[in-house]
Chains A and B, each alone.
Chain A
Amino acid sequence: MTAIVAAGLTKFGKRGESLLEIAAQAALPILRGRWDEVDYVVVSNSYSGEFTSTSGINTQITTYLSLDEVPSVRVDNTSGSGGSALLMANSLILSNTARRVLVLGVEKMSTMRTREVTSVISSLLMPREREAGPSLPSLAALAAKLYIQRYNASRESLAQVSVKDHRNGAKNPYAHFTKEVSLEEVLSSPLVAEPLRAYEYSPISDGAAALLMVSNQEAYSFTGKPIFLKGVGAYSTSTSLTSREDLLELKSVREAGIRAMRQARVSKVDFAELHDMATVLELIQAEELGLLPKGKAWMATMEGRTELNGDIPINTSGGLVSKGHPIGASGVAQSVEAFLQLRKEAGDRQVKDPVTGLSLSMAGFGNSSVVTIYGVEP
């Protein structure tokens, strides 16, 4: 397998800089002093065409970084692009196609207004389903209704995910929102798709995240504290929502998790970064991954078990809800958080002595998933 030996991040949020400038901010701290070492660049980006009228973003970025002759590729798997980019970088190294890969996730979204962004994101739906007019947030709202009904979950428990995520985000200087919110504030924020409200969804953010990945054998020549990929699992579910048996089942999450855990030979992890585009998704995903029992994640959240000092801290970075969700950057930023946590460099949001971590990068409404398990040892 492979290792992460360096990581970089920009602050997420509404940024005045261009797509290229944001990308460079995350990449430069990694690249300085290593210009001749990177031999492949994998760019995670989904919507440069839609948001900034830009194509060929991977070679534009390498040229902007004066890595003009370094081969590169753009990985697009919508909101799951980051996990897929990590998977590709891992494969490039394991197949001896490359030795030192820069993974760079970036998205600039604030060029458009909310309803236009909503329309762009909806373009990932199958044509006839898209024609009906659902937004991705509205699909999460349908899931929220089903979740509350099926498991007799309290409405407050979904909002509590947002409270917890914002509490963590307030400790993350790179987060879009660095302010705590109360349960009352969450439950009185504007409705987006009932029953879910604005503070229960990820905001529209610009931002970038970067990683340097190398083979396990080389890892210690870069840093005394490499973080190792122990397992990576990928799986897809039908993009046609009307073909799915049950909207509450995110089979791609479950199966990607099983594969990653099997490869990593672990049955539990010390923390997890999940894809909480909406609060309810964190609950469903935690259950699908076996981090919490089926139908009980809402209760565990209310009991504080997913807090920084709980037995399974979830979204220590603030998650997508608080940290923000620059689509192409999100999955890579999850790996950055795992890197910081496992190196015990996460500052005020550090969990106690973690040795393994998990991230879930999910595309669309669970259309595809990549789960990665990280460890302090190979």
Chain B
Amino acid sequence: MKLYACVKCGMEFFERRAVCPTCRGEEFMEREAQLGEALVETQLFVTPAGFPEKYKISLIKVDGTKALVRRE
């Protein structure tokens, strides 16, 4: 799982940002991280058009942040 990390303070993000909300740094590096524990998960029975008709969405811990992941 790819994460974005602030070069200045190390804060990590799943979603890209132009500016770090903690230190206002503007440089980020990409790094790979292992998925951790699932915090909560739901099975969808009505999904957005363009996606499969049935899958699970999980909010998962990944190092210093979280990730939103689809599991089919």
Contacts and interface: CB of A to CB of B under 8 A. Distances in A.
A192 B48 CA distance: 12
A242 B44 contact: no
A32 interface: no
Given A116-B49, A119-B50, A135-B47, A242 B42 contact: no
A240 B14 contact: yes
Residues of A in contact with B, size category: 20 to 34
Contacts of A141: 42, 44
B68 A118 contact: no
Interface in A105-154: 113-116, 118-119, 122, 126-129, 132-135, 137-138, 141-142, 145-146
Given A138-B57, A141-B42, A142-B59, A128 B47 contact: no
Contacts of A191: 43, 45
Given A241-B59, A242-B68, A128 B45 contact: no
B8 interface: no
B40 interface: yes
Contact of B15 (A118, A128, A133, A134): A128
Nearest to A123: B48
Contacts of A299: none
B42 A119 contact: no
A194 B55 CA distance: 11
A134 to B, nearest CB: 5
Contacts of B16: 127-128
B68 A241 contact: yes
A193 interface: yes
Contact of B68 (A134, A190, A192, A194): A134
A193 B46 contact: yes
A247 B68 CA distance: 12
A217 interface: no
A136 to B, nearest CB: 9
Contacts of B59: 142, 241-242, 247
Given A133-B55, A133-B70, A118 B14 contact: no
A267 interface: no
B48 A129 contact: no
Contact of A133 (B13, B40, B57, B67): B57
Residue among A137, A191, A240 with the highest chain B CB neighbour number at 10 A: A240
A118 B46 contact: yes
Interface in B1-47: 13-17, 21, 40-47
B46 A129 contact: no
A243 interface: yes
Contacts of A238: 21
A160 B13 CA distance: 38
A126 B47 contact: no
A20 B59 CA distance: 41
Contact of B44 (A113, A128, A138, A240): A138
A193 B49 contact: no
Contacts of B69: 132
A240 B66 CA distance: 10
Contact of A242 (B41, B45, B52, B65): B65
A264 to B, nearest CB: 31
A133 B49 CA distance: 10
A132 B56 CA distance: 10
Contact of B40 (A113, A116, A129, A142): A142
B16 to A, nearest CB: 7
A43 to B, nearest CB: 27
Contacts of B55: 133
Given A128-B16, A146-B40, A247-B40, A122 B68 contact: no
A132 B68 contact: yes
B70 A115 contact: no
- 7 closest A-B pairs by beta carbon, nearest first, are A119-B48, A242-B14, A141-B42, A242-B66, A119-B49, A240-B15, A115-B49
7 contacts: A133-B70, A138-B57, A142-B40, A191-B43, A194-B43, A240-B15, A242-B13
Given A133-B57, A242-B13, 13 more contacts: A119-B48, A119-B50, A127-B15, A128-B68, A133-B47, A133-B48, A134-B44, A134-B68, A138-B42, A138-B44, A192-B44, A192-B45, A240-B13
